[in-house]
Amino acid sequence: MTSARAVAAFDLALALATAAVIAWGVLVLGWSPFVVMLLFWFENVVIGGFNVAKMLATGLRLGAAGLLGAVAVSAFFTVHYGLFTAVHGMFVVLLFGGAEVGRGAMDGGLAGPLAAMVDYLFAERDGWLAVAAIVLVHLSGFVQWLARTRESPPPLKDLMGAPYGRIMILHVTLIASGFLVQALQAPVAGALLLVGLKLAYDLVTLGRDRKKEQDREPGAQARPPVADRTEATR
């Protein structure tokens, strides 16, 4: 239990540190709401990359046939998820980033806005710092996942669809909030609002995942309900 609490505390610290790095960028470096949304878009890419790693790790655990299946599934996922993420990124640029990446980037089809967005994100050292914080958060989650699923790897089909729910819920909220930020014309407050929304989502997700892990712990189902334990002690 102590180890589980330590892991939960570490995950919480990583989430708070990432939010703090991005908030520092907003307050000190003048990052706009577009840069904040750019970082959250990049997080989708990181999640997709680690999801491919999970598929391949699962395949290795299942033997040669499992690895072959994992390679095929991960290849399909890379194309499908990659297109999904690319289109989402293009909409972020078109809706919020024209003034910052330049209108010329909009003339390059799908590749033009995405290339301009990536160049904009990695142009400065401080952008790299925020990117490193995001990668560290998900690297921690991946290492924990490897340990948690050592004995019972999840089905590949479950891994295939795992990231999509997160994108749909979180980024519809963020894009809707982006329009609100534009209407208010308060870039600093708006960027901090986006950071706060993302942090709240991460904290809720961490709590939900921790509860699932507690339910999976040996003996969790065997524990009597609180009411039964109370009567038993009378």
Q: Which tokens is 57 given?
A: 């790790």
Q: What is the 3-state secondary structure (H, E, C) of 138-199?
A: HHHHHHHHHHHCCCCCCCHHHHHHHHHHHHHHHHHHHHHHHHHHHHHCCHHHHHHHHHHHHH
Is the confidence at residue 187, as pLDDT, over 80?
no
How many other CB atoms are there within 10 angstroms of residue 128's CB atom?
12
Looking up tokens 């999509």 gives 164
Q: Mean pLDDT, the chain, as a whole number?
A: 77
The Cα–Cα gap between 92 and 41 comes to 8
Q: How many helices (H) and strands (E) does the chain have?
A: 9, 0
Per-residue confidence (pLDDT) for residue 186, from 0 to 100: 74
Per-residue confidence (pLDDT) for residue 52, from 0 to 100: 94
Q: What is the pLDDT of residues 83-110, one digit of tens each?
A: 888 888 777 777 777 666 655 555 555 5
Domain ranges of the chain: 2-215
Q: What is the largest CA-CA distance in the chain?
A: 76
Percent over 70 (pLDDT), the chain: 76
The Cα–Cα gap between 15 and 137 comes to 7
How many other CB atoms are there within 10 angstroms of residue 170's CB atom?
18
pTM: 0.77
Buried b (16+ CB within 10 A) or exposed e, 30-42: ebbbbbbbbbbbb
pLDDT confidence tier of residue 234, bands split at 50, 70 and 90: very low
The Cα–Cα gap between 16 and 51 comes to 23
Is the confidence at residue 21, as pLDDT, over 90?
no
Q: What is the pLDDT of residues 196-216, one digit of tens each?
A: 888 888 888 777 767 766 665
Is the confidence at residue 119, as pLDDT, over 70?
yes
